[in-house]
Structure 1
């Protein structure tokens, strides 16, 4: 909607990593809709923070696009883990048993997706194509369960928001982690071309 001009974007404020040798900042952990706004805005203001990792994908802003910047050394905000009880653990095991080796996962956040992720460390050659990359996915990368070897068309971790504890943040600067805007990740043809795409999420009851 921002790209089509249905939602105006006049001035963009965003957190960013320090500039690289080519003059690019990375919007890093949450470029989501910000890149579309950057393309439309008359002014782009960046808060540059060395605690923000330089991530890869469509999340880079060149110094020539920046109107002003301010330096910061504040810690990156952390998102705590949801409360997981015996019911959530039982559901997590039931769902995890239905996920095959070689599946590409879209993992949500909450009391159901997290217990599922906890049960997947003995799986093999999982891939990631998801909105949010958090601590649970980091655990699977460290255990070797996520390799992206059987993921097609792109053999790398893909997402557009990172959230978690401090230990998760540096990992998202790796070349194997691709950070892109939602309009790319939610295109219907892309998940449709991904073999064994498996979505794990939860729904909430609203009064």
Structure 2
């Protein structure tokens, strides 16, 4: 399976439905309590873009994209309509948005991550598909304008020799990003008469590891 760096049509993703999901094993004990075990390290997101299809032109755009990806065969980029930025909704991206690592004076590569937390717990989600040109980096609170690159296909930031962060320095980043997904079906059925009457088909997507 290959991953195609193309993004699903933005106008359709903005009105899709879906979000993150977890998988938790829950066992009821004889004393009335529960034993819970998290099976997945990170959430896995699912979406349905069928809710975004409003016209025959929209439907054809989805069909064309579906055929180009070979159905479930190839992954692609998808913009989550709510969660697509290192900043909070409505706020601009800044180079101080997310703490991605602390320098040790030797490491030159760092994975982009986004933190989710409520004070009592924090989850750090790796970000593998940043939007090209959107990544901003700061070291110890100072934005870097040179001396680093970010691979838009992996989300890995690499500092050039002479620019490696010193030991104890905070490395922060701001960015926009897409979710790597694939179609979660190999078949799309269309009843055009029913579609014109208002029924919108389900077109499921599921997050993948690119």
Q: Provide the TM-score with structure 2 as the length reference.
A: 0.25
Larger radius of gyration: 2
